Amino acid sequence: MDIREVGVVGLGTMGAGIAEVFARAGLRVTAVEADAGALSAGMSLLDRSLRKLVSHGRLTQDEYAEIAGRVRPGPAIATLSGADLVIEVVPEQLAVKRAVISELDQVLRPAAIIATNTSSLSVTSIAAGSAHPGRVVGMHFFNPAPVMRLVEVVTTVLTEPVTAAAVTALATRLGKTPVLVNDRPHRARHVGRDPRGACARVRRHPLHPGAPAAPPDRRRTHGAEERRRVLRVHRGTAGLPGRIPG
């Protein structure tokens, strides 16, 4: 999948950093916040970070203008309809994240990817709130996002292999080191404390050069019945219908 246009929902410190990473890699970015004041503050965070790079000689004025020009503020999620991938960076509350995912389901194209930057919540629970859980994946940046090299690509039993492959390739394109992990509690805490171990896992990842070309199809491994069971459990906790969308 060719990802050229991305959206970032939530432009706090982490969201602004992620938007900067995307823009510096040449992607067009639409940044969305809950209100105009928060959006303005987030855009200012991004601008200050880029200007700091200029003052330190790491960017020229022309490069600054080019990167800043790739990021546009969006007043609502509806402005993300043309995005190939959207990452949510909203507060770590399951209900809030599910509400964002539900809105994204209504505006994004079926092939678009929805990523969550959660570091503590179950990606499976977040994905189960989507009408299309196979396109939901964890893409966890560490703070500060422009500096930290590791990015966790967190898959669930619901994640389509093509989704995981596309996000892993994107992380590499961003100049990051992707770490493919299965959804489990406190995963970020362990990877963050053991970067050498994380890098070793990257070397064993099927997408790494010298390894088999295709990642294992975990959806087939677990089977349709297991995916139905997972959806019944996770969607049931939120009073949602426990079904796999067709």
Catalytic residues: 140
Contact 39, 33 (CB under 8 A): yes
Alpha helices for the chain (secondary structure H): 13-24, 36-55, 61-68, 94-107, 123-128, 161-173, 187-193, 195-204, 218-236
In this structure, are strands 150-155 and 177-182 parallel, antiparallel, or unpaired?
parallel
- Retrieve residue 126's tokens: 């977040």
- Which residue, 111, 84, 89, 109, is CA-closest to 100? 89
Distance (Å, whole) CA 52 – CA 147: 13
Secondary structure of 98-136 as H, E, C letters: HHHHHHHHHHCCCCCEEEECCCCCCHHHHHHCCCCHHHE
* Strands across the sheet containing 177-182: 71-74, 28-32, 5-9, 85-88, 113-116, 136-141, 150-155, 177-182
Task: Return phi, psi of residue 80, to 5°.
Answer: -95, 10
Distance (Å, whole) CA 230 – CA 138: 17
